[in-house]
């Protein structure tokens, strides 16, 4: 079996993903022993990661040019190599491995794929971003029933799943977002207090309404929001760092002031780093938990309302996510027009 397919391939390092990566046509051969080949139906967008990859600025990923791009995708198995008994042609599978996402077809060891009930994008979201949400809030954050939880970028792909996980545990949720529409979306998920950072001071709201009352904070922004979360942790509170979006330019803000230990020590509070790639042994359990919650109707993955179709639209999708305008998870439909399987 030989088939042509299109993919986004990193050809050079540049300030933006669009400038660094080209749309190329490649030939895919039959899978070798132990491999499967997959027709990708959907891919998930990770704009900050993509931009940092384009700049060769991700310390834990070494890029040798040219390099395929993208992380998560879901599709159907097209062919199975010798010695593979875990998958059959037609099975729905997810990959969350870097270089497997931004391409119409994928091929690799069967061990790099996991089974999904079908090829809907919701399973992909839960098997990738959902795993991150579960591990950040349950494993690193050690969430307890009824706690007060603060979440930044709460209307995003990761944040909106964290909100739902906290609410199902009976928690009071404080959600930071940007814009009226995002605040409305979060209210629909049951958020108790939304803070629109465009019109309100996060620090002032927390100081007035949640002074020293945040049991668990989950921050993927950094900067002033991180400071406000840290200043208002409750006794034994936990602040989980899930990302540092405000430092995307590679120049973290240099802060002159009391060291954070002065804030944490007398409260017995802590700051914890969440890095999903260091928790691979826990992915299967987290994925199983998220799949079960979705099947039971207890969690709802939401996709951004701007539709992207075709591998060539990935550039626009990355820029949509990076702009901060999206709500929920940004995905791209990779199926050719008229494809109904």
Domain co-membership, 265 together with 156: yes
Q: Looking at the domain assignment, is residue 51 inside a domain?
A: yes
Q: What is the mean pLDDT of the chain?
A: 95
Percentage above 90 pLDDT, the chain = 89
Domain co-membership, 13 together with 102: yes
Q: What pLDDT, on a 0 to 100 scale, did the predictor assign at position 253?
A: 72
Helices 159-168 and 180-188: crossing angle in degrees, nearest 10, is: 30
Q: Looking at the domain assignment, is residue 186 inside a domain?
A: yes
Q: Minimal CA–CA distance to 186: which of 160, 207, 212?
A: 160
Domain co-membership, 261 together with 175: yes
Domain co-membership, 7 together with 97: yes
Domain holding 31, by residue range, is 3-126+293-333
Domain co-membership, 112 together with 208: no
Domain co-membership, 158 together with 45: no
Domain boundary among 222, 243, 273: 273
Rounded-to-integer distance, Cα 94 and Cα 72, Å: 7
Domain co-membership, 209 together with 254: yes
Rounded-to-integer distance, Cα 122 and Cα 15, Å: 31
User: Tokens for 164?
Assistant: 């739902």
CATH code of 37's domain: 3.90.180.10
Domain co-membership, 299 together with 257: no
Domain co-membership, 50 together with 97: yes
Rounded-to-integer distance, Cα 128 and Cα 116, Å: 12
Question: H/E/C letters for each residue in 258-271?
Answer: CCHHHHHHHHCCEE
Q: Looking at the domain assignment, is residue 100 inside a domain?
A: yes
In this structure, how many other beta carbons lie within 10 angstroms of the beta carbon of residue 118? Answer: 11
Domain co-membership, 259 together with 302: no
Rounded-to-integer distance, Cα 168 and Cα 330, Å: 24
Q: What pLDDT, on a 0 to 100 scale, did the predictor assign at position 213?
A: 98
Q: What pLDDT, on a 0 to 100 scale, did the predictor assign at position 98?
A: 95
Domain count, the chain: 2
Q: Looking at the domain assignment, is residue 9 inside a domain?
A: yes
Phi/psi at 172 (5° precision): -90, 120
Domain co-membership, 107 together with 189: no
Q: Looking at the domain assignment, is residue 338 inside a domain?
A: no
Rounded-to-integer distance, Cα 157 and Cα 150, Å: 16
Q: Looking at the domain assignment, is residue 282 inside a domain?
A: no
Domain boundary among 273, 305, 321: 273
226-232-237 Cα angle (round to 5)? 90
CATH code of 165's domain: 3.40.50.720
Q: What pLDDT, on a 0 to 100 scale, did the predictor assign at position 237?
A: 98
- Reported as type and span, the H/E element at residue 187 is helix 180-188
Domain co-membership, 218 together with 324: no
Q: What pLDDT, on a 0 to 100 scale, did the predictor assign at position 137?
A: 98
Q: Which residues of the chain have pLDDT under 50?
A: 1
Q: Looking at the domain assignment, is residue 151 inside a domain?
A: yes
118 preceded by cis ω (within 30°)? no
Q: Looking at the domain assignment, is residue 278 inside a domain?
A: no
């Amino acid at each position: 079996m030989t088939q042509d397919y299109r993919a986004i391939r990193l050809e050079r390092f540049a300030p933006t993903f669009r400038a660094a990566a080209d749309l190329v046509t490649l030939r895919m051969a039959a899978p070798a022993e132990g491999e499967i080949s997959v027709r990708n139906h959907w891919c998930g967008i990770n704009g900050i990661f993509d931009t940092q990859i384009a700049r060769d600025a991700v310390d834990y990923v070494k890029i040798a040019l040219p390099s395929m791009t993208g992380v998560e995708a879901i599709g159907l198995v097209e062919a199975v190599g010798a010695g593979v008994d875990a998958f059959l042609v037609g099975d729905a599978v997810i990959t969350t491995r870097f270089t497997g996402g931004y391409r119409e077809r994928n091929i690799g060891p069967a061990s790099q794929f996991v089974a999904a009930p079908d090829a809907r994008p919701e399973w992909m979201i839960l098997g990738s971003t959902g795993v991150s949400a579960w591990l950040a809030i349950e494993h690193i954050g050690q969430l307890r029933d009824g706690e007060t939880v603060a979440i930044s970028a709460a209307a995003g792909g990761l944040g909106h799943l964290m909100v739902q996980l906290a609410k199902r545990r009976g928690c009071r949720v404080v959600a930071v977002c940007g814009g009226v529409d995002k605040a409305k979306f979060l209210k629909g998920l049951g958020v108790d207090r939304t803070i629109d950072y465009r019109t309100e001071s996060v620090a002032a709201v927390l100081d007035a309404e949640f002074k020293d009352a945040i049991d668990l904070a989950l921050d993927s922004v950094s900067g002033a929001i991180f400071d406000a979360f840290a200043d208002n942790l409750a006794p034994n509170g936990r602040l989980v760092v899930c990302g540092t979006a405000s430092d995307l330019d590679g120049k973290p803000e240099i802060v002159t002031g009391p060291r954070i230990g002065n804030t944490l020590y007398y409260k017995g509070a802590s700051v914890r780093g969440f890095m999903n790639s260091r928790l691979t042994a826990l992915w299967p359990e987290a994925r199983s938990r998220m799949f079960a919650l979705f099947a039971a109707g207890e969690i709802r993955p939401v996709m951004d309302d701007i539709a992207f179709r075709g591998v060539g639209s990935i550039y626009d999708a990355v820029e949509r996510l990076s702009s901060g305008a999206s709500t929920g998870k940004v995905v791209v439909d990779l199926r050719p027009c008229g494809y109904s399987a």
